[in-house]
Amino acid sequence: MTASASVRSLPSEWAPQSGVMLTWPHSQSDWAANLTAVEQVYLDLARVICRHEKLLVVCYDAAHQQHIHAQLQTHVDLAQVVFTLQPSNDSWARDHGPITVLKQNQPLLLDFQFNGWGGKYAHDLDNQITTGLHTAGIFGNTPLDRIDLILEGGSIDSDGEGSLLTTRACLCHPGRNPHLSITDIENQLKQLLGVERILWLEHGWLAGDDTDSHIDMLARFCDARTIAYTACDDAEDEHYPELSAMHAELTAMTQHNGQAYELVALPLPQAMHTRQGHRLPASYANFLIINEAVLVPQYGDPADAIALQRLTTCFPEREVIGINCRAVIEQFGSLHCLTMQLPAGVLNVS
């Protein structure tokens, strides 16, 4: 074990949580044309989350908070909701929210830099959200470190036991940290996150994914021995070469004890397209683990039921719940991308 790993650790998503963060969509964002449909997804998410833990809702301004409050009061127990004001460019909390590590078994928030997925989109407001929430006291006495490294939460996945799963295409993209080599990035991640080893995927890609292959669209830990991954069995599909190569890489990876991972294939839904004809990156790997439940994207596709059934086998002690994400995928992300879990001890609920 490295010296940093003995001090810090990156919890798995299935570790106990104090809440889930949602940055609510608003009319000043790219959601404007489809806001009603997207807000229904948020209401569905809120309803399930509030049954299991607290919900942190980041509102654009006071009028936006009043609007959200009026919607939520007929869907959830408002005692479960923490509202806060912080303007945002967009609503992908996974990538602008805090990443929590444990330092000597106490939570520490890391505020990595966010640059709009390599400078593709406006991000000036999003990059200030975590610091703003901390200054407002939302996280109580939990300390926060602001980190110069550009890193998005959707680009990494932890088994909670020192292994980090990620993709070279994203973390080594020249739009993020061009001055750093892969060795530099690996060393920083080990030091900052307290991980012992990084499992790099060289392959894995979805058409329409503008994150440069975030791991949470491709492969996810379900426990320290099991990885669920996006699979393609159709040799005529454009994804077949990359996803087949990714499967081969996952097959060759081993756990800490040297044994192979148990791999669970999640099907690709049928091709979905924007009005302009561009394929959308629909993925069932973009599920969210919360206390006692797992929320799984659904797209109105025959493969929805297959994904639910396979993930139910991965999480036998949790309720597996489908959430209709067809409206969300229009902006190239899904359920996990919208959310950021806050481990136990982080959210100030007093």
Give, in order, the Cα–Cα distances in Å from 244 to each of 2, 70, 236: 33, 47, 12
Degrees to nearest 5, angle at CA 340 with 81 and 54: 25
CB 78 within 8 A of CB 54: no
| Residues recognised as catalytic | 337
Closest CA to 23 of 71, 77, 65, 79: 65
CB 323 within 8 A of CB 295: yes
Write the burial class of residue 231 (CB in 10 Å: 0-12 exposed, 13-18 middle, 19+ buried).
buried
Interacting residues of 230 by C-beta distance below 8 A, sequence separation 6+: 204, 206, 217, 218, 219, 243, 246, 266, 268, 283, 284, 285
CB 239 within 8 A of CB 231: no
Residue type (1 letter), 273: H
Q: Tell me which H or E stretch contains 220.
A: strand 219-223
Q: How many Å apart are CA 342 and CA 319, to the nearest integer?
A: 19
Q: How many Å apart are CA 177 and CA 301, to the nearest integer?
A: 38
Q: Tell me which H or E stretch contains 223.
A: strand 219-223
- CB neighbours (10 Å) of residue 350? 5
Q: Measure CA 92 to chain center.
A: 9
Q: Tell me which H or E stretch contains 89.
A: none
